[in-house]
C-alpha cells in the first residue's frame, strides 16, 4: 500500500529468505502451527489515520457511562463471572481494508473483542521481519509513539500490576499445546510470568495455587486466555482445577465478562462510516431484499465458526434463537496488497492496552492476508502470500 516499500520488498523477496525468516522466528520456541505470511503490510499515512479514528469512535461508545447496562444481555447467564472490574485491559478491533466511495482505502469494522490477542508474538514477528528483510525506519509496527521499552513496561503494568511475576500466570485449558502457544512463550520471556494449564491450578478455599519445586505458590492475578465458548460443551474440565464462575480471591486480566461485552454484540450500537450496517436478527421486521449483500453471524462463536456468508431467507427462518444472531452488511475487501502474482485482501487488528485507572492506549497491530472467502488462517491453507502478519505504519 506504500508503493515504494512494496516495490522494494517484492524485488528483494526470495523463498530462501522467507524460509530463513521462518527459522529465525521459531528459534527457541515450539513449532508455529499457523501460517505466517510471506510479507508484512505497509500502511500509508492516510489509512493509518482512518484506522486510528475508527478505533477512537468505538472507544467513545465503550467509555459511555451506560455501556455496562447496554451490554448486560451479552453475557450468557451460565457464564457470568463474579467480581467484574470497571474496564477491560485489552481492546482489539479488526478492520477489513476496503475502498470507500471516494476510491480511497478505508477500514471497515469486522470484529471486536475485549480480550487479549498476540501481544507478545506480534512484536517478535515485527522485529524478525525487520531484521530478515531490511525494513527501514520510515515505518513502524508500533503506534502512538511506543518503543520496545515503553511497550514492555506497559505490558508489565497491565498484566502483572502490583504483584510479583511468580504470582501471575497466563492461563488456558491446555496452554502449552494451544495454536497460539508461541505467543504464550514470547510473553513469558518478556514478563517472567508463569504459563499454566487449567489443571495446573488448584483451589483451596477461595484462593488459587500452583506447585513449583515442591512448594505451593498463591496466584494473585490471571492473564486469562481461556475462551468459554471453546469449553462450553464440557465443563468437566473444571472438576480437577477451579471453576472461574465461583467466588474467588483472584484478579483477572482481563475479566472474562468483557469477552462478551465487547464483541459482535456491541456492533449494532455503533453508527459510523467505518462500521457496516449491523442489526440483531430478532429486531428485524422486514428482511432486506438484497440478502446476498449480507452475512449472518452467531453472537457466541469463535474464529469465524458458524458464520453464513451466502445468506438465504430459509437460513434465517431456520434459526431458533434469533436473539443470538446478527445480520450484517457484507464488507467488500479490496485486494490492496500486491503479491508477485496479484492482489491479496487484508485485515488489520488495532491492539490497545488499558491499565487499571488509566486510559486505553493504542500500541501495536496484527494483520492477516487472504485469498479465500474468509480471512482466518484456517480458510487459506492452500494459498501462498496469505496468513498472519503485521502492519508497518508510515511514520
Q: Which residues 6+ apart lie within 8 Å of 108 measured at CB? A: 95, 96, 98, 274, 275, 276, 331
Under DSSP, is residue 151 helix (H, G, I), strand (E, B) or coil?
Answer: helix
Domain 160-253 listed as CATH 3.40.50.720: no
Q: Which three cell numbers stand for residue 341?
A: 502474482
Mean pLDDT for the chain overall? 95
Fill in the DSSP letter of residue 331: P
156 burial (CB, 10 Å; 0-12 / 13-18 / 19+) is middle
CA 347 to chain centre: 11
Dihedral through CA 109, CA 54, CA 386, CA 34, nearest 10? -80
Q: What is the pLDDT of residue 174?
A: 92
Give the span between the Cα atoms of 349 and 355, in whole angstroms.
19
pLDDT digits (tens, 9 = 90+) for 190-239: 999 999 999 999 999 999 999 999 999 999 999 999 998 788 888 889 99
Q: Which of 44, 179, 189 is nearest to 127 (CA)?
A: 189
Q: What is the pLDDT of residue 383?
A: 86
Whether 378 has a pLDDT exceeding 90, the answer reads no
Whether 120 has a pLDDT exceeding 70, the answer reads yes
Answer yes or no: are the C-beta atoms of 226 and 198 closer than 8 Å.
yes
Whether 302 has a pLDDT exceeding 90, the answer reads no
Give the span between the Cα atoms of 94 and 347, in whole angstroms.
7
Answer yes or no: are the C-beta atoms of 195 and 188 closer than 8 Å.
yes
Domain ranges of the chain: 1-133+258-276+331-395, 160-253
Fill in the DSSP letter of residue 199: G
Q: Which three cell numbers stand for residue 306?
A: 458458524
The DSSP element (H or E) to which 207 belongs, if any, is: strand 207-212
Give the span between the Cα atoms of 393 and 43, in whole angstroms.
5
Answer yes or no: are the C-beta atoms of 167 and 215 closer than 8 Å.
no
Give the lowest-confidence range in 92-101, 275-284, 341-350, 364-373: 364-373
pLDDT digits (tens, 9 = 90+) for 319-331: 999 999 999 999 9
Amino acid at each position: 500500500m506504500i508503493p515504494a516499500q512494496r516495490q522494494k520488498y517484492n524485488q528483494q523477496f526470495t523463498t530462501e529468505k522467507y524460509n530463513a525468516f521462518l527459522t529465525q522466528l521459531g528459534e527457541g520456541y515450539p513449532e508455529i502451527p499457523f501460517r505466517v505470511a510471506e510479507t508484512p503490510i505497509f500502511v500509508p499515512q492516510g489509512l493509518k489515520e482512518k484506522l486510528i479514528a475508527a478505533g477512537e469512535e468505538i472507544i467513545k461508545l465503550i467509555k459511555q457511562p451506560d455501556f455496562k447496562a447496554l451490554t448486560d444481555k451479552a453475557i450468557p447467564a451460565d457464564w457470568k463471572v463474579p467480581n467484574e472490574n470497571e474496564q477491560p485491559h485489552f481492546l482489539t478491533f479488526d478492520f477489513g481494508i476496503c475502498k470507500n466511495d471516494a476510491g480511497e482505502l478505508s477500514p471497515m469494522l469486522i470484529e471486536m473483542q475485549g480480550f487479549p490477542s498476540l501481544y507478545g508474538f506480534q512484536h517478535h514477528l515485527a522485529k524478525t521481519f525487520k531484521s530478515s528483510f531490511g525494513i527501514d525506519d520510515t515505518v513502524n509496527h508500533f503506534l502512538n509513539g511506543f518503543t520496545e521499552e515503553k511497550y514492555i513496561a506497559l505490558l508489565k503494568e497491565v498484566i502483572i500490576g502490583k504483584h510479583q511475576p511468580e504470582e501471575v500466570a497466563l492461563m488456558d485449558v491446555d496452554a502449552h499445546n494451544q495454536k497460539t502457544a508461541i505467543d504464550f512463550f514470547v510473553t513469558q520471556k518478556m514478563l517472567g510470568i508463569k504459563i499454566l494449564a487449567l489443571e495446573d491450578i488448584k483451589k483451596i478455599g477461595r484462593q488459587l495455587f500452583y506447585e513449583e519445586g515442591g512448594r505451593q505458590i498463591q496466584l494473585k492475578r490471571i492473564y486469562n486466555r481461556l475462551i468459554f465458548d471453546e469449553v462450553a460443551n464440557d465443563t468437566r474440565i473444571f472438576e480437577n482445577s477451579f471453576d472461574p464462575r465461583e467466588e474467588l480471591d483472584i484478579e483477572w486480566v482481563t475479566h472474562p465478562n468483557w469477552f462478551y461485552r465487547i464483541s459482535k454484540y456491541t456492533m449494532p450500537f455503533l453508527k459510523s462510516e467505518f462500521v457496516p450496517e449491523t442489526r440483531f436478527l430478532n429486531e428485524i421486521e422486514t428482511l432486506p431484499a438484497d440478502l446476498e449483500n449480507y452475512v449472518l453471524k452467531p453472537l457466541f462463536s469463535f474464529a469465524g465458526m458458524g458464520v453464513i456468508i451466502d445468506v438465504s431467507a430459509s437460513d434465517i427462518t431456520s434459526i431458533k434463537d434469533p436473539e443470538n444472531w446478527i445480520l450484517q452488511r457484507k464488507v467488500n475487501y479490496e485486494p490492496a496488497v500486491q503479491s508477485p502474482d496479484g492482489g491479496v485482501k487484508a485485515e488489520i487488528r488495532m491492539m490497545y492496552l488499558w491499565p487499571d485507572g488509566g486510559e486505553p492506549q493504542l500500541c501495536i497491530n496484527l494483520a492477516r492476508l487472504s485469498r479465500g472467502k474468509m480471512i482466518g488462517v484456517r480458510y487459506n491453507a492452500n494459498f501462498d502470500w496469505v496468513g498472519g502478519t503485521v502492519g508497518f505504519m508510515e511514520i
